[in-house]
């Protein structure tokens, strides 16, 4: 009967195996590359128009970095297998080595790393959601949003009979959207503010945001809703408080 070797001895024995060293090297290079480029998607998306979008971009970057070592490991094993374990010649390939799933330490490490990552992502996501909903809670401006093939209509119940096919919002004031549809399922998406919610016929869904950047941004439909779905887009104008008052009054409403 052989006595089991201590972990340190086994680890040193593993590190001397060329395939482990090769896979580790590829893994380290790929992980570094993925982490170095993790900021690119959020940069490409341009400046955020709300704290919600800041949270979305931070979450994208953090999730990419958290997933980088896992993705890099899968690619490293695949790449090493392609380069070094490829079968050449016309004879039958060598018999495979014992499968990974019967290797206890490998299974335990995989399970532990996956669990820690999942718990981290869950906690991060919940904390970000909490911070976004707390920021938009006080005295919101209510806007009713109605989708129909293939236009958006916005009305302001607190400002009288104001209705528009473009969205006007005052800067730095929390907004609460009540979203519905007159026909099929649409999805109300204010791109640079990082909010998106389904517009369902016969139902009202809600979402909220605080616009913090002056300017014009995109409103799109994010649910395939028929022939002209791609044209179902409009503009949100984020203006200062006095410009918003003038716009409301100019459209027959009151502030």
CB of 124 to Cu ion, least distance (A): 31
CB of 192 to Cu ion, least distance (A): 19
What is the token pair recorded at 46? 């341009």
CB of 204 to Cu ion, least distance (A): 17
Helical pair 51-84 and 104-135, crossing angle rounded to 10 deg: 160
CB of 56 to Cu ion, least distance (A): 21
The nearer residue to Cu ion, 123 or 228, going by C-beta atoms, is: 228
Point out which span in 35-43, 158-166, 215-223, 233-241 binds Cu ion (CB under 5 A). Answer: 215-223
Q: How far is CA 97 from CA 106, 205, 234, in A?
A: 15, 54, 59
The b-or-e profile of 63-100 (16+ CB within 10 A means b, else e) is: bbebebbeebbeebbebbeeeeeeeeeeeeeeeeeeee
197 binds Cu ion (CB under 5 A): no
225 binds Cu ion (CB under 5 A): yes
Point out which span in 39-47, 111-119, 208-216, 217-225 binds Cu ion (CB under 5 A). Answer: 217-225
229 binds Cu ion (CB under 5 A): yes
186 binds Cu ion (CB under 5 A): yes
Give phi and psi for 44, each to the nearest 5.
-60, -30
38 binds Cu ion (CB under 5 A): no
Point out which span in 117-125, 159-167, 210-218, 227-235 binds Cu ion (CB under 5 A). Answer: 227-235
237 binds Cu ion (CB under 5 A): no
Q: How far is CA 152 from CA 23, 120, 164, 180, 222, in A?
A: 53, 38, 9, 10, 12
Q: Is the dihedral of CA 162, 164, 170, 174 positive or negative?
A: positive
Choosing from 221, 236, 238, 248, the residue that interacts with Cu ion (CB under 5 A) is: 221
What is the token pair recorded at 253? 């409403």
Residues making contact with Cu ion (CB under 5 A): 186, 221, 225, 229, 232
């Amino acid at each position: 009967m052989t006595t089991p070797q201590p972990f340190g001895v086994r680890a040193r024995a593993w590190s001397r195996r060329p395939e482990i060293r090769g896979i580790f090297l590829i893994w380290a290079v790929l992980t570094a590359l993925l982490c170095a480029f993790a900021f690119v998607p959020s940069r490409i998306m341009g400046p955020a128009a709300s704290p919600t979008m800041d949270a979305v971009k931070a979450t994208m970057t953090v999730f990419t970095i958290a997933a980088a070592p896992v993705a890099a490991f899968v690619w490293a094993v695949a790449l090493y297998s392609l380069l070094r374990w490829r079968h050449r010649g016309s004879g039958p390939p060598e018999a495979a080595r014992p499968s990974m799933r019967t290797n206890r330490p490998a299974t335990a490490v995989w399970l532990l790393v996956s669990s820690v990552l999942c718990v981290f992502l869950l906690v991060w996501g919940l904390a970000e959601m909490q911070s976004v909903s707390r920021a938009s809670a006080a005295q919101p401006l209510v806007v009713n949003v109605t989708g129909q093939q293939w236009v958006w209509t916005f009305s302001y119940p607190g400002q009288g009979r104001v209705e528009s096919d473009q969205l006007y919002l005052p800067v730095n004031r929390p907004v609460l959207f009540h979203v519905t549809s007159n026909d099929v399922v649409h999805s109300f998406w204010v791109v640079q503010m990082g909010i998106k919610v389904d517009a369902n016929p016969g139902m009202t869904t809600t979402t909220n945001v605080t616009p913090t950047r002056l300017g014009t941004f995109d409103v799109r439909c994010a649910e395939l809703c028929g022939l002209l779905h791609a044209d179902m887009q409009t503009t949100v104008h984020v203006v200062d408080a006095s410009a918003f008052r003038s716009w409301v009054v100019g459209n027959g409403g009151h502030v």
